[in-house]
Chain A
Amino acid sequence: DAKTTQPTSMDCAEGRAANLPCNHSTISGNEYVYWYRQIHSQGPQYIIHGLKNNETNEMASLIITEDRKSSTLILPHATLRDTAVYYCIVRPPVNSGGSNYKLTFGKGTLLTVNP
């Protein structure tokens, strides 16, 4: 599995965009980049995922560099409720076979949104 590197912590002002970087220089051609977050002691929550094109949903945008060695999760207008640990995970697609495709959550980035 490709290893990911994220900053330990980041701060962001409420209402501003939060840009969370992730390095995954050993990513393989078929591996997706997934982002999850965990608000204190709650269950992790899926945010977004992508392969090579930029993706956007109601929660966030995901920008993946052309060489796919890094990506950035963007929360366009951060709120206090976005304070959480954000995990960047690289995994191959889940097929219909019998594999676990376990998600490995590293240490992530603690994003603190300040008033």
Chain B
Amino acid sequence: EAQVTQNPRYLITVTGKKLTVTCSQNMNHEYMSWYRQDPGLGLRQIYYSMNVEVTDKGDVPEGYKVSRKEKRNFPLILESPSPNQTSLYFCASRDRASGANVLTFGAGSRLTVL
């Protein structure tokens, strides 16, 4: 089944403890992206990647890092999490060649930073 898989789905952590949210897709998509969703603010893009080793900032990149060493994986790294990064995170991928802006989203990762 074509899908985007995120892990962990739920995580409670403490301020300053580095964590990584993994994202993997099995559709051979070039484009991948991370969003966060907060009440009243909607979905905001954190980082995106056009292909392997090509990443760029979205609208809210502060406090996050990403890497794209393989086509299928696009992990989101919080080096020193803070409470304002408590949010619902979504990874998404898109087939760049199709011409259609059809994103496939993961199920989401709910992160709480105490």
Contacts and interface: CB of A to CB of B under 8 A. Distances in A.
Most buried by B among A42, A45, A102: A102
Contacts of B75: none
Interface residues of B, number: 29
A105 B107 contact: no
B27 to A, nearest CB: 13
Contacts of A89: 101
B113 interface: no
Contact of A43 (B56, B59, B92, B94): B92
Contacts, number: 62
Interface size class of A (residues with CB under 8 A): 20 to 34
Nearest to B95: A94
Contact of B43 (A44, A91, A100): A44
A5 to B, nearest CB: 15
A46 B45 CA distance: 17
Contact of B45 (A42, A44, A91, A102): A102
Interface of A: 32, 34, 36, 41-46, 49, 89, 91, 93-96, 98, 100-103, 105-107
Given A49-B102, A91-B101, 9 more contacts: A42-B107, A43-B107, A45-B105, A46-B103, A93-B101, A94-B100, A94-B101, A100-B45, A102-B33
